[in-house]
Amino acid sequence: MRRAGLGRPAARFLPMKFTLVSLLLVGLFTARSFAVSLTERVRLTIEHVDLKVILAPEGTNLLKFIVLDHDRATNYFTTNAVLVVAESSKLSVPEGFPELGPSGSDLWVLPASQNPLLLYLGINATGLPLSAQRLDLFLRRIDGPGHFLAWQFASAGGLAVSHSTRDGLTEADRFNPVVGGHEHHNLGFSTNGLFTLWFQARATVGGTNAWSPETPILFAVEPLPAIPAGPATLVASATELAGSLQLHLQGTPKAAYQVERSADLANWEPVTEVIASENPVSVTVPLPGHSTQWFFRARRP
């Protein structure tokens, strides 16, 4: 399992006439990439939805995944949907189920039985023109802040766990739906945040093994942690105004930044506060006459 964090980069100074202070961009692009990834996708929250395997003989991979929304009778590319695990799905692990985690620990669960307040997610292998056989759906990797589990309740009691990232991923971490079948599992997440699960399907087509590409499925386990505002960049306008300078600030949308100036890089004074937008925000700053060189920076208050 991979873990990713957002750090605060240090300031970096670029000397030039009316020198501007530039900040590293890593945090900015990381924060914005999460926002873009979510805002451009269809949010599936309480619908009956399936992760469905279809035959795609026109491509180099004969199998592929789609997201089937039964309520809207609509298919989505996996990159166009985000599967939402509502905060109300959070439970405490009861005693006697160590497979799910320590007793009393939090677990967000999409149940195998339908709850009208939660997403109802299934595995769908209907419509495949294959002979009757089991289809393998492997979980290859996970990107996220915690663990993922999938299980059903065994007929003899106890749990039949098909997936658990607590002990690493192996070939045993897979669903085995019957071709032509449709099934549901309990799906659990050990914490909130964004999780990407990478699945790969395998079946026999024409006497040979057919594979899907490793396919990312995005889950948003709520509440999503607030994304820290990234650093801003300042760019000077090519046109200088009498006694002032026009700057263009690019930062995390809706975040506030303090624009400051200094004549010696040691003593800084505030000039103005700017609220960043999706597009660069223009701001005109005065250039006092008691110095021939000024430095500017933008930072979070």
What is the rounded distance in angstroms from the CA atom of residue 112 to the CA atom of residue 151? 9
**Residue-range domain boundaries for the chain:** 11-25+231-299, 40-221
Structure tokens at 47: 């619908």
| Amino acid 82: pLDDT | 96
Q: First and final CA of the chain: distance in angstroms? A: 35
Residue 213 contacts residue 200 (beta carbons within 8 Å): yes
What is the rounded distance in angstroms from the CA atom of residue 131 to the CA atom of residue 143? 34
What does the angle CA 139 – CA 171 – CA 210 come to, to the nearest 5 degrees? 75
Phi then psi dihedrals of residue 231, to 5 deg: -70, 165
Mean pLDDT score, 241-255: 85
Pick from 195, 216, 176, 192: nearest CA to 67: 216
Residue 274 contacts residue 298 (beta carbons within 8 Å): yes
Would you give the DSSP letter of residue 167? G
pLDDT in tens, 176-222: 998 888 999 999 999 999 999 999 999 877 777 889 999 999 999 99
Global pTM value:
0.70
| Amino acid 55: pLDDT | 87
CATH number of the domain at 11-25+231-299, please? 2.20.130
What is the rounded distance in angstroms from the CA atom of residue 231 to the CA atom of residue 170? 40
Residue 160 contacts residue 152 (beta carbons within 8 Å): yes
